[in-house]
Structure 1
Amino acid sequence: MERRTFFGVSMLAAGIATEPWGRLAAAVAGPNVDSEITDKLVAKTADLFVTEHHLPARLLADRLGGHLETLTALIPRSGPYRQALTVAAGETAALAGWAAYDIGDMDTARHYYKTAALAGREAGHPSVVALAMGYASYAVAPDKAREMLAAAQEHVRGAGYAAARSWLAAREAEEAAAIGDREGAVRSLDRATTAFDYANPDAEQAWIRFYQRPRLDSLMVSTYARLRHRDLEQSAQDALTHLGEDDSKVRIAVLADVATGYVVSGDVDQGVEVGKRFVKAATDTPTTMGRERLASLAGLLPAQHSAARDLAENIRAALAV
């Protein structure tokens, strides 16, 4: 039996290369990369972005680490497939940074984001740079985040990136609202909604598949809440209408934004009802972002409102665990 057959496509297709012995085999005796191996590894990268919607970050981080090691071992002998594997490695590194952020390891997250951007530039694939900048924007001050998000949009111009442009523009709107730039925030939301009209998240990059209508709605709600905008209540209702019943992490973000939006608008009763759903989702699937938003909501709930006071106490108890 040839060594290529033993250590080749069948090993990678079966996922053995995500285990230590498989990664060692890929590194010291693995095959020269061909189109089939490349397709399998690119598909694996896409699957990890879908898995992220549901899997706790600590478990996801282990899978990402193994996959990234495999890609790293194969890139030097990938020949004409080097660009595709470098792009996959950059996307994987960006997601690994997001997972690190999700468990509170900010230093590791920053290193992964920098490496992801480097891979994107090396491969001549600027959308990977945009992805890394979009993720990194969550961990910096609003003024810096806004600059990063505006710059990131320049990396996703042209056909096939409408969903990515919409996400980055909506995030820019959220951060513009956080620093009090009302006009800038509204303009960014206009760009986000216009781009979304042309978007097809399921057919674009694998990493943007999370960005369905409910996520755009929630970013609009978050922006409008910070601006005390007249369209806040309608946007909150739209977000709940479009929200599915799955337990993905997107659901946590949407419920958090809607609950906060209602409380800020003065509809505390509705905010409490949505807040209860948010607390359950955030405690069922713990994330750093979920904890941050729990703390933020608890700080907004009025103590003179008995149901709101009870919810705030429940949130603080959950955060103490």
Structure 2
Amino acid sequence: MADALANCDMPTVIESVRTAHGWSQGDLARELTYSQSWVSRVVNGQQSLTISQVQDLARRLDIPLHLIRFGGDTALEGAAAKVLPPTRRRDFGKAVAAGGLLASTARPINGLEVHHGIDEDTAPSLRAITGGQRRMDATSPARHLLPGAIAHVHLTEQMLTNARVTPFHTELSAAASEASGFAAWLNADLGDMGSARMHYRTAVVRARQAGMRLLDVYMLGSLAAFEIETAEDPELGLGLVQEAEHVLGPDSHPTARAWLACIGALAHAGIGDRTSAASAIRRAERDVDRPDNARPPWPWVFVFDQTKVAGYRALVGVRLRTPHEARAAFADAVAPSSRNVKQSAVLKVELASAHAEAGDVDEAFRLAQEALDTGVRFASERVVSRVRAFRRRYRGPHAERVNELDTRLAALVIGIPSG
């Protein structure tokens, strides 16, 4: 281990930690909150690491950074030249260049040391890009947005590294958190669970580095929603919601409180706690009606209103198997004027479940077909997988619409258009 640390041999370091704990590689991946395939590539020397990734892995494994010569104030490249063999020295040099560790080019402007053009406009510019991407997500396929979003994550991380000794580091940490959070959302939409979780965890870490309470809450809540809805782990999601509520505190913007209460309601419903779920929804309804809820606080982009709460109330009804209540709530939540057609499609699948539970098979499968059309049009694995899950749960008679949906789903699997 000492030799591995001295030589920045992270595959050996990680494997040694795994062996010492008696973990499987899956256990190690869960501890690091990276995908198992990514961890496997790192351990096998098939995945190169950036400076920031080495730092992140060390922190998650509780390895003091100075032991791998990342924590001191000395020039990293010079230290690497002394301790690394020639091949690793070249790799380390590439990592240094990729990480933007060229502080010698800094120059003072108005008494402040500015690195690589980092100034008071850098973070707002990066945040504006993320905000624009998030708005485009409402009507654009995730596969079209993801390459740009990932490139933007790399850009914000580069700028964050460049700004590490400037007064702008906090703002750039926030910008990096937003960028990673959006990349996580897109990966989740495409069904890449490992990448989504990795980006969400990075978003939380960056938010805490920024020290911005609402951003911390937003990223924790987003991770909670992911674990509840996509990973189907309501217990873990509830724990994350409770942590976010602790960070938020009682005196905060009603949008934040209402949104978090709705995610908590979904978690409570997932574990069958009707009383707590109903109480959380009532809190959300009171908060969104407050006059100071008119303008959402950053990092929220859209107003969280009664329509949004109705959507969560409907989701809670589906999970608690109260179809009539769920259908009534969906009437308020699914509107033709909805700005996010993909999110409306997700709600339609849930509404389909409520109709199927109530015995209205034709309407249930009509809605499932509409949702599937949207999922295919936007290449949203999140929507398509919800439709597939709805079909797997259905145990009723094979009406004509049931057969139609089966034909569509089979066509998707074999890649031949139906009809």
Give the shorter-chain TM-score range: 0.7 to 0.9
Give, in whole Å, the separation in 2 of the partners of 1:209 and 1:245: 12
Structure with higher helix content: 1
- Equivalence for 2:163: 77
- CA displacement 1:278-317 (0-9 Å, x = unmatched): 1211221122321221112212445415144224414532
- Equivalence for 1:19: none
- Equivalence for 2:144: 59
SS at match of 2:121: helix
**Shift in Å at residue 93 of structure 1?**
0.9
Contact 1:217/1:238 (8 A) holds in 2? yes
- CA displacement 1:161-211 (0-9 Å, x = unmatched): 422332222122122212211112111211222222237476322444285
Q: Match for 2:207 among 114, 120, 130?
A: 120
**Shift in Å at residue 263 of structure 1?**
1.8
Contact 2:234/2:270 (8 A) holds in 1? yes
- So what's the TM-score if we normalise by structure 2? 0.63
- Equivalence for 1:251: 344
Q: Which aligned pairs between 1:271-290 and structure 2 lie closer than 5 A?
A: 271-290=364-383
1:222 counterpart = 2:309: no
- Structure 2 gaps, min length 5: 1-96, 106-114
Contact 1:142/1:176 (8 A) holds in 2? yes
Please tell me the residue identity of whatever aligns with 1:234: A
- Structure 1 gaps, min length 5: 1-22
- Equivalence for 1:184: 276
Q: Of the two, which has the highest radius of gyration?
A: 2
Give, in whole Å, the separation in 1 of the partners of 2:178 and 2:250: 19
Contact 1:172/1:188 (8 A) holds in 2? yes
- Equivalence for 1:136: 223
- Equivalence for 1:267: 360
- CA displacement 1:233-287 (0-9 Å, x = unmatched): 32122223x3425563222222222222222233333323322321211221122
Give, in whole Å, the separation in 1 of the partners of 2:130 and 2:251: 22
Give, in whole Å, the separation in 1 of the partners of 2:393 and 2:279: 27
1:92 counterpart = 2:183: no
- Equivalence for 2:117: 32
SS at match of 1:87: helix
Report the number of matched residues.
Answer: 298
Q: Match for 2:402 among 300, 305, 309?
A: 309
Please tell me the residue identity of whatever aligns with 2:177: G
Q: Percent identity?
A: 22
Give, in whole Å, the separation in 2 of the partners of 1:206 and 1:149: 17
Q: 1:266 to 1:196 in 2, by over 3 A?
A: farther
RMSD: 3.0
- So what's the TM-score if we normalise by structure 1? 0.80
